[in-house]
Structure 1
Amino acid sequence: MAMNLDELIAIDFHTHAEEPCCGPRDDGYLEFQAAMATYFRNPAGANGMLPTVQETAAYYRERKIAAVIFGVDAERETGFRRYSNEEVAQLAAENSDILIPFASIDPAKGKMGAREARRLVREFGVKGFKFHPTMQGFYPDDRMAYPLYEAIQEEGAIALFHSGQTGVGSGMHGGMGMRLKYSRPIHVDDVAVDFPDMTIVLAHPSFPWTEEGLSVATHKPNVYIDMSGWSPKYFPPIFVQYANSILKKKMLFGSDWPALTPERWLKDFETIGIKDEVRPLILKENARRILKM
């Protein structure tokens, strides 16, 4: 099925494949999802009923929105088995009119991870890779990750980094072991210098380091920002100001499905004073350009 971007109203740059993918989930997974549901005030995950990839595709198809979809490989830090990158890519291929496959690889996997990345791009059509420094327990500028970045850059794929505070582990005992320090956007600055031909996307408004994220995206030509994980009505004024002006060609619509729905995000987006000429850039055209679609 070919994707007809002209008929779609938007590209959601940030959706998760979350449902139990490997049989019964590991101990603590349902509690983790329930805490996420409480944080985002969203019933998804509260009772362990998360949308499948096929259900996600049907949901987005009905709304004429394309979706970048991925799992998160945080096995080493969380003990939760990752969603198979190959399975996500295959499901995306079955729904190629609406889903765009990304993958996730723990950078601690070194050369093995780099080989996996190359294979996923070449054999499965994966367009990018999701990193979650807080969940994966690493600083993005740790040289441990560089073999994986080299593979991503050479294959022409995108690196998407979670930034700022996360809803993951929020309110749980010890924050579920999640350390916020790993997700400061300044740690992506070195990566942008050392891999200038790799397209980098900072996910979320980077709270409480919002201005730091805006600074990196302003200074580095290869760094973009997806606006996911927050309802737009809570965006800091400076974030909206930059989206409307200096970074209007570098901001990307993203929801954080299923934690946040695109309906909620798009409804609130209408209220924050984005200029008419900027709105289509954020909703679709910027993503279309960096995805080379």
Structure 2
Amino acid sequence: MRYESAVDFAAIEAIDMHVHYETDTCGHHAMPQEYIDASAAYFKGGERIPSADAIAELYRGLNMAAVMFTVDARTQLGHLPNSIDDLVAAAHKNNDVLIPFGSVDPRTGEDAIVEAVRQVEELGVWGMKFHPSLQGFDPSDPQYLPLWRKVAELGVPALFHTGQNGIGAGMPGGGGIKLRYSNPLLLDDIAAEVPDLKIIMAHPSVPWQDEANSIAIHKPNVYIDLSGWRPKYFPESLVRFASNMLADKLLFATDYPLLTPEKWLTDFEELPVKDEVRPRIFKDNALKALGVK
């Protein structure tokens, strides 16, 4: 199954750039159950693993598209991810609202590069998702440069988790997850050395928000998605720059199902963001990051 988009980008009101799909039609989850349970307790949300059809129905009702993905952390977790092929098939079934990103485990070396090529060229994914803390790697390590160069060559963006981790929160030792791998400064090395790679830093990067702001302002190829935190908790510096220096770099994103679009939108309405900037955050910037315009 190769994904072909049928999203009417002119008609939709927004693109949610960060939505999780962490199971497959065989019932295999992206992570061991204890990590899923811990994240559900941390975020205190509703249904932790909705079906792709349920995700599509939600966003169809909101007149939005959604970028949907999982994370391949097989080396760190000793657990295979849910099927990317299955995810792509589910997105294609709902291709009026869902856009699939792929994922590979950088720690698998050359195999990660081969699989990234397959996912983009054969499956038709529109981007690649990485989670340095969950996958247990330093993205600035030169050994991963061939992967970043290949993703850039394939012409799709790379979405990296940054900042605080809900995954592993409350587990002994945080589930073995090391927060330092999610410092956005590690991505600045990639942005400088692979300037053709579009990088999306996922989440307000608490406790490193000033670093994230600086990178996004300095590097033309870097964006920030606004997922994982209710806007009422956004760092002050992020809100302050939203209407000016970061107006073309911020992307609407929720972290659904961990955070619902309704809660995010209600909070965002109260932020002091200029009216003329809001359409950029909701859709225009995402179209550029995705290469649609």
TM-score strictly above 0.5: yes
What does the per-residue CA deviation read over 1:103-156, in whole Å, with 9 as the maximum and x for residues that have no partner?
A: 110111222211111121112211110110000001111122222112111010
The DSSP-based 3-state class of the residue aligned with 1:97 is: coil
Bigger shift: 10-19 or 140-149?
Answer: 140-149
User: What residue is the counterpart of 2:22 in the other structure?
Assistant: 18
User: What residue is the counterpart of 1:97 in the other structure?
Assistant: 96
CA distance in 1, matches of 2:29, 2:152: 33
What does the per-residue CA deviation read over 1:148-172, in whole Å, with 9 as the maximum and x for residues that have no partner?
A: 1121110101011100011011111
CA distance in 1, matches of 2:34, 2:106: 26
The DSSP-based 3-state class of the residue aligned with 2:23 is: coil
Conserved 8 A contact 2:24-2:86: no
Conserved 8 A contact 1:22-1:81: no
CA distance in 2, matches of 1:88, 1:258: 16
Amino acid paired to 1:119? R
TM-score, length-scaled by structure 1:
0.94
User: What residue is the counterpart of 2:255 in the other structure?
Assistant: 256
CA distance in 2, matches of 1:127, 1:259: 22
CA distance in 1, matches of 2:115, 2:36: 28
**C-alpha displacement at 1:34, in angstroms?**
2.1
What does the per-residue CA deviation read over 1:222-246, in whole Å, with 9 as the maximum and x for residues that have no partner?
A: 0110010000000011100111110
Q: Equivalences for 1:89-128 in 2 at 5 Å? A: 89-128=88-127
CA distance in 1, matches of 2:28, 2:120: 29
User: What residue is the counterpart of 2:291 in the other structure?
Assistant: 292
Amino acid paired to 1:251? L
Change (3 A) 1:25 1:11: closer
Q: Equivalences for 1:89-238 in 2 at 5 Å? A: 89-238=88-237
Change (3 A) 1:218 1:25: closer
Which of 11, 30, 46 is 1:7 aligned to? Answer: 11
Residues 1:37 and 2:69 aligned together: no
The DSSP-based 3-state class of the residue aligned with 2:227 is: coil
Length, aligned pairs only: 288
**C-alpha displacement at 1:292, in angstroms?**
2.1
The DSSP-based 3-state class of the residue aligned with 1:196 is: coil
What does the per-residue CA deviation read over 1:43-79, in whole Å, with 9 as the maximum and x for residues that have no partner?
A: 333xxxx201122112111111100010100111122
Amino acid paired to 2:39? M
Conserved 8 A contact 1:186-1:212: yes
The DSSP-based 3-state class of the residue aligned with 2:166 is: coil
Which runs of no fewer than 5 residues in structure 1 stay unpaired? none
Change (3 A) 1:118 1:24: closer
Bigger shift: 196-205 or 33-42?
Answer: 33-42
Change (3 A) 1:289 1:264: same
User: What residue is the counterpart of 2:75 in the other structure?
Assistant: 76
Conserved 8 A contact 1:25-1:80: no
Bigger shift: 177-186 or 87-96?
Answer: 87-96
